[in-house]
Amino acid sequence: MTDDRRLSFWAWGYEDRLPDDEERRELAARIEGMLGFPERPVVDYPTLDDVEMPAPRIEVPDDLSEFVTADRRPRASHTYGKGYRDLVRGFHGDFSSAPDVVATPRDEDDVEAVIEWATGENVAVVPFGGGTSVVAGVECDGDGYAGVCSLDMREMDRVLEVDEHSRSARIQAGATGPEIQEQLAEYGLQLRHYPQSYEFSTFGGWVATRAGGHFATRYTHIDDFVESVRAVTPAGSLETRRLPASGAGPDPNRFLLGSEGAFGVITEGWTRVQPRPPHRARATMRFDDYWDAVEATREIVQARLYPANCRLLDSDEAMLNELAFDGSHLLLLGFESTDHPVEDDLERAMTIAEDHGGTCPDGPSVEDRSTGDVEEEREDSEEGSWRDSFFEAPYMFNALVSMGVLVDTFETAVTWDQFSDLHAALQENVVGAMREECGAGFMSCRFTHVYEDGPAPYYTLLAPAEVGSELEQWRRIKETASDTLMEHGATITHHHAVGRVHRDHYHEEVPENYLQALRSMKRTLDPDGIMNPGALL
pLDDT of residue 31: 87
For position 218, what pLDDT does the model report? 86
How many whole angstroms separate alpha carbon 90 and alpha carbon 9? 8
User: In angstroms, how far is the first alpha carbon of the chain from the final one?
Assistant: 34
**Which long-range contacts does 446-449 make (Cβ < 8 Å, 24+ apart)?**
446/311, 446/312, 446/313, 446/314, 446/317, 447/216, 447/297, 447/310, 447/311, 447/312, 448/212, 448/216, 448/311, 448/411, 448/494, 448/495, 449/212, 449/215, 449/216, 449/217, 449/220, 449/413, 449/494, 449/495
Beta bridge partners of 212: 221
Where are the strands (E) in 48-181, listed by range? Answer: 68-69, 101-103, 123-128, 147-152, 159-163, 168-172
Q: What is the pTM of this model?
A: 0.94
Rounded distance between C-alpha atoms, residue 141 and residue 249, angstroms: 37
Residue 454, SS3 per DSSP: strand
Mean pLDDT, to the nearest integer, of 87-100?
97
pLDDT tens digit sequence for 424-469: 999 999 999 999 999 999 999 999 999 999 999 999 999 999 989 9
| 196-225 per-position pLDDT tens digit | 999 999 999 999 999 999 899 989 999 999
CA angle, 298 as apex, 213 and 495 as ends, to 5°?
Answer: 25
SS3 54: coil
Is residue 374 very low, low, confident or very high in pLDDT (cuts 50, 70, 90)?
Answer: very low
Stretch 321-327: mean pLDDT? 84
For residues 522 and 5, give the distance between their C-alpha atoms in angstroms, rounded to a whole number. Answer: 38
**Helix crossing, 382-402 with 21-35: angle to 10°?**
100
What pLDDT is stored for residue 393 in this prediction?
83
| Residue 117 backbone dihedrals phi, psi, to 5 degrees | -60, -45
Give the amino acid at 421. D
State residue 69's pLDDT score.
98
* Under 8 Å between Cβ of 12 and 389: no
pLDDT, position 503? 97
**Does residue 4 carry a pLDDT above 80?**
no
The predicted structure's pLDDT at residue 120: 97
**DSSP β-bridge partners for residue 287:** 329
- pLDDT (0 to 100) of residue 378: 41
Q: pLDDT band at residue 227, thresholds of 50, 70 and 90? A: very high
Mean pLDDT of the 255-270 span:
96
At 30 the pLDDT is 87
Predicted confidence at residue 385, as pLDDT, reads 54
CA atoms within 13 A on the CB side of 255: 20
For residue 446, the tally of other CB atoms under 10 A from its CB is 26
What pLDDT, in 10s, does the model give residues 26-82?
Answer: 999 988 888 889 988 889 999 999 999 999 999 999 999 999 999 999 999 999 999
Q: What pLDDT score was predicted for residue 166? A: 97
What φ, ψ does residue 474 adopt, rounded to 5°? -60, -45
pLDDT-derived band at 325 (thresholds 50, 70, 90) equals confident
Burial level of 132, CB count in 10 A (0-12/13-18/19+)?
buried
Look at residue 387 in the predicted model and tell me its pLDDT.
Answer: 57
User: What is the mean pLDDT of the segment spanning 407-429?
Assistant: 98
CB 152 within 8 A of CB 173: no
Of 224, 379, 386, the closest CA to residue 309 belongs to 386
Q: Residue 267: which H helix or E strand, with range?
A: strand 265-272
**Residue 163 pLDDT greater than 50, yes or no:** yes
2 band by pLDDT with thresholds 50, 70 and 90: very low
Does residue 388 have a pLDDT over 90? no
Would you state the pLDDT for residue 425?
98
pLDDT band at 390 (very low <50, low <70, confident <90, very high): low
Question: Is the separation of the CB atoms in 149 and 78 below 8 Å?
Answer: no
Distance of CA 379 to the CA centre of its chain: 24
Closest listed residue to residue 417, CA positions, set 467, 348, 349, 490: 490
**pLDDT for res 376:** 42
One-letter identity of residue 222:
I
Q: Where are the alpha helices (DSSP H) in 439-502?
A: 470-487
**Per-residue DSSP letter, 55:** P
CB 308 within 8 A of CB 346: no
Q: Are 74 and 118 in contact (CB under 8 A)?
A: no
- H or E stretch including 458? strand 454-464
Does residue 231 contact residue 266 with C-beta atoms inside 8 Å?
yes
DSSP-derived letter for residue 359 is B
Per the prediction, the chain carries an average pLDDT of: 93
pLDDT at residue 381 tops 60: no
HEC string for 174-238: CCEHHHHHHHHHCCCCECCCCCCCCCCCEHHHHHHHCCECCCCCCCCEHHHCEEEEEEEECCEEE
What gap in Å lies between CA 7 and CA 261, rounded to an integer?
23
List 398's β-bridge partners, or say none.
Answer: none
